[in-house]
Amino acid sequence: MASFEKRGKKWRAVISITDNRGIRKKLSKTFDTKREATTWSTEQENKSNNGYNVFSGKILYSDYYKKWVETYKRPVIRESTYIRYQSWIKNVQKLFTDIRLDQLTNYQIQQIINNFGETHTLKSTQGFLVSVRSSLKDALLDGYIDKDIFSRVKASSKHETHKSENYLSAEEFERLQQFLYENQDQMAKNSKLLMVLIALETGARLGEIFALRTSDIQPNKIIIDESYSASSHEYTAPKTKSSIRSISVSDRLIAVIEKYIKGTSKTDLLFKPQHRANIGYGVETILKHASVHQIRFHGLRHSHVSYLLHKGVDISYISKRVGHSNTTITLQVYAHLLKEKEQAQDALVLDILSNH
């Protein structure tokens, strides 16, 4: 029950509310009129009755975010992902300085995300925003805030970099493939040659290739059931169940891998993990000698998908082959390639219809 006290020309409202520990506490605020005081006390009592903790909302958002990461995220995420969250904690502490949870508004959050996007790529901004949204969604469910102030916030960026296509054309794919097979005798001395070939013909990620063991090389297939994290230096299960897969490969590739195993006397891991910069330099050199345009190591995965699409392989099969949980993800990631294929099909259809 609220009480009201007139102090000079002001009205002071006092309400008694139970906090999240079950302890009754008094909350007060002063207004110009009794009507304002009455409206405020009614709103606070209704919020409390609906599960909103008016006292919890007084904590800094940066403090809440850090506790949220430790409580809700760290127990269920990989160490490499936790390292990313630690970076986001620093971002929140810098961008949301001295802002309490109950002071946050949709407009304020949007301004902060816009400022973040001034110096970060769209992908980085989207990742950061997803974490902010998730934390505030839990804050709403836990009664720290009383309304949705996060769903309408959008990510934008003015810091996008324009790079050349990070995948090879079909002609370049075949040229690189031929170059690698022609230099298979060098693979025992330069393991990057084999790593590039495996990535090109399987679409496997770099972490998955670093985790390949001799037991994963089987007749006509390669088993992917582990991934190496460069951040935590650990071998763990892949991020999703769909990433655990058996990839069909040619007898030719298996023969090259077995030749490499014999030549290096490998008994467990095929490759020793290396710094990404070292891998990048090695890939750059290989691509230069193969006379194809420069792409990053992950571009070999994109090239694999692009080549299969070019050859008419079904999108659902490709999705499973590269470890996506559903075709929607594949369609989103490779929308630009599918658009090119659609345009090529349009030209083919028009050519067919024009001849009849």
**Residue 294 vs residues 105, 175, 233: alpha-carbon distances, Å:** 45, 13, 28
Upper half-sphere CA count for residue 305 (Cβ side, 13 Å): 28
Q: Which domain holds residue 295?
A: 170-348
pTM assigned to the model:
0.59
The rounded distance, in Å, linking the Cα atoms of 113 and 222 is: 43
Please classify residue 106 by burial: count the beta carbons closer than 10 Å to its beta carbon, then call 0-12 exposed, 13-18 middle and 19+ buried: middle
Asked if residue 273 lies in contact with residue 233, where contact means CB atoms within 8 angstroms, the answer is: yes
Is 67 in the same domain as 29?
no
Is 317 in the same domain as 180?
yes
Is 94 in the same domain as 224?
no
**Identity at 298, one-letter amino acid code:** H
Which of helix, strand or coil describes residue 205? Answer: coil
Domain boundary among 103, 122, 141: 141
Q: Is residue 98 part of a domain?
A: yes
- Strand 221-224 to 10-18 pairing: unpaired
Residue 82 has a CB neighbour count (10 Å cut-off) of: 16
> Which CATH number fits the domain that encloses residue 80?
1.10.150.130
Total tally of structural domains belonging to the chain: 3
Is 218 in the same domain as 260?
yes
The rounded distance, in Å, linking the Cα atoms of 296 and 96 is: 35
Q: Is residue 356 part of a domain?
A: no
> Which CATH number fits the domain that encloses residue 203?
1.10.443.10
Is 30 in the same domain as 77?
no
Number of residues that make up the chain: 356
Is 185 in the same domain as 293?
yes
Tens-digit pLDDT profile for the chain (356 aa)? Answer: 678 878 888 888 777 766 555 567 676 778 888 888 788 778 777 766 665 565 555 789 999 999 999 999 988 887 778 878 888 999 999 999 999 998 899 999 999 999 998 888 888 889 999 999 999 999 888 778 878 999 999 998 876 544 457 888 888 999 999 999 999 999 999 999 999 999 999 999 999 999 999 999 999 999 999 999 887 888 988 878 889 999 999 999 999 999 999 999 999 999 999 988 899 999 999 999 998 989 999 999 999 998 888 888 888 899 999 988 777 877 776 765 665 555 555 666 776 676 65
Q: Is residue 183 part of a domain?
A: yes
Q: Is residue 354 part of a domain?
A: no
Is 319 in the same domain as 225?
yes
